[in-house]
Amino acid sequence: MTQPSAQSIEQLTQQATQELDRINDLESLDQWRISYLGRRGSLTNVLRGLSQLDLEQRRELGALGNQSKNLLDERLAQKTQEIDQAQQVQAFARDRIDVTMLGRPTPIGRLHPTTQIVKEITDAFVSMGFSIVEGPEVEWDHYNFEMLNIPEGHPARDMWNSMWIDYRNEAGQQPMLLRTHTSPMQARVMENTQPPIRVVVPGKCYRYEATDATHEWHFYQIEGLAVDEGITFADLKGTLYEFARRLFGEERKVRFRCDYFPFVEPGVDMSIDCFACQGGDNRCRICRGSGWIEIMGAGMVHPKVLASVGYDTEKYTGFAFGIGPERVAMLKYGIDDIRHFYTNDLRFLRQF
């Protein structure tokens, strides 16, 4: 153990503070602490050596040694704080949040074009006093055909190529199918309601048929039904003209032609002039040169249908219609193929 002296204490203190000034990290700082202030550190050794001195020297050098130890302790605490702060600043700079940076855009979905057109069409009828109701897509043969004056074996069944469900009720009767049109809801609504009735029924239909530019195997229809005392064919035409005017504007041409549906008498179909060729092009994929695109079937509710739900056919008359909303959207937006609606191509869907 070296004999302590005032000079050696001062030299040691100076050396320690100079070394400390050069230290920038906590690991080196700890080593510094161990080498000067640790159990076997240089200053600790010096202080321990004081015990060998006589009283006078011990008092003098003891005060100096303590002064030196206090100074180094103080500088150690100060340096520790400095390094801590510097490290925090560095960490903050590394993980810094740039509050001026633009956020990531959140993709916002939109309504499918069919949903949009169904809403537009039903809105037009709601504003004319109709209510909206919905019904099952899997339907009994009874409602899809029987109640609509299409008994088993009737040739009109061939107009609707059907997808049958392998299910019969407990009595082994009543085959089910994916509804081929929304007309079964005519019977369901009338069964549960007394006139006056004014309803529109949007919903999906299914047919077992080959697809082309104007035919899908699944598509929407919007059924309409009005039953009351004194309803005439003029009410039907007036209502549908008003619908066409609201959807397509004044300039679009509308055509009614006789058509056959077993549940109406007389029956019509309603067409709109072809937006693609205006009837001039025999190769037109949309109208095949006829100049017209059929968008709905309609007519006066057949007395047999009214009677089958127990209505007094002397008192009540009514009209019904079934609109194809995809065909309406095709006309309105100039879409040349109905199959675009359900192929989920975002380039198509994003246009609406």
Helix (H) / strand (E) element for 263: namely none
Other CB atoms within a 10 A radius of the CB of residue 104 amount to 6
Give, as ranges, the residues between 238 and 297 that touch ligand FA5 (CB under 6 A): 261, 264, 267, 294-297
Question: In whole angstroms, what is the distance from residue 316 CA to residue 334 CA?
Answer: 40
Which part of the chain contacts ligand FA5 (CB under 6 A), choosing from 75-83, 149-157, 166-174, 316-324?
Answer: 316-324
Return the structure tokens found at 168: 């019969």
Q: Which residue is nearest to ligand FA5 (CB)?
A: 324
Residue 46 or 187: which CB sits closer to ligand FA5?
Answer: 187
Three-state secondary structure of 179-218: CCCCCHHHHHHHHHCCCCEEEEEEEEEECCCCCECCECCE
**In the complex, what is the shortest distance from the CB of residue 99 to ligand FA5, in angstroms, rounded to a whole number?**
53
Question: In whole angstroms, what is the distance from residue 21 CA to residue 82 CA?
Answer: 11
The catalytic residue among 32, 140, 160, 292 is 160
**Is residue 322 a contact point for ligand FA5 (CB under 6 A)?**
yes
**Is residue 139 a contact point for ligand FA5 (CB under 6 A)?**
no
Burial 184-218 (b: 16+ CB within 10 A, else e): bbbbbbbeeeebebbbbbbbebbbeeeeeebebee
**In the complex, what is the shortest distance from the CB of residue 211 to ligand FA5, in angstroms, rounded to a whole number?**
8
Residue 101 or 210: which CB sits closer to ligand FA5?
Answer: 210
Question: In whole angstroms, what is the distance from residue 295 CA to residue 178 CA?
Answer: 21
Give, as ranges, the residues between 219 and 238 that touch ligand FA5 (CB under 6 A): 219, 221
Return the structure tokens found at 21: 């000034």
Which part of the chain contacts ligand FA5 (CB under 6 A), choosing from 10-18, 19-27, 45-53, 207-215?
Answer: 207-215
**Annotated catalytic, 164?**
no
Q: Catalytic residue positions?
A: 160, 181, 207, 221, 264, 320
Using CB under 6 A, list all residues that contact ligand FA5. Answer: 181, 183, 207, 209, 215-216, 219, 221, 261, 264, 267, 294-299, 320-322, 324, 326-327, 338
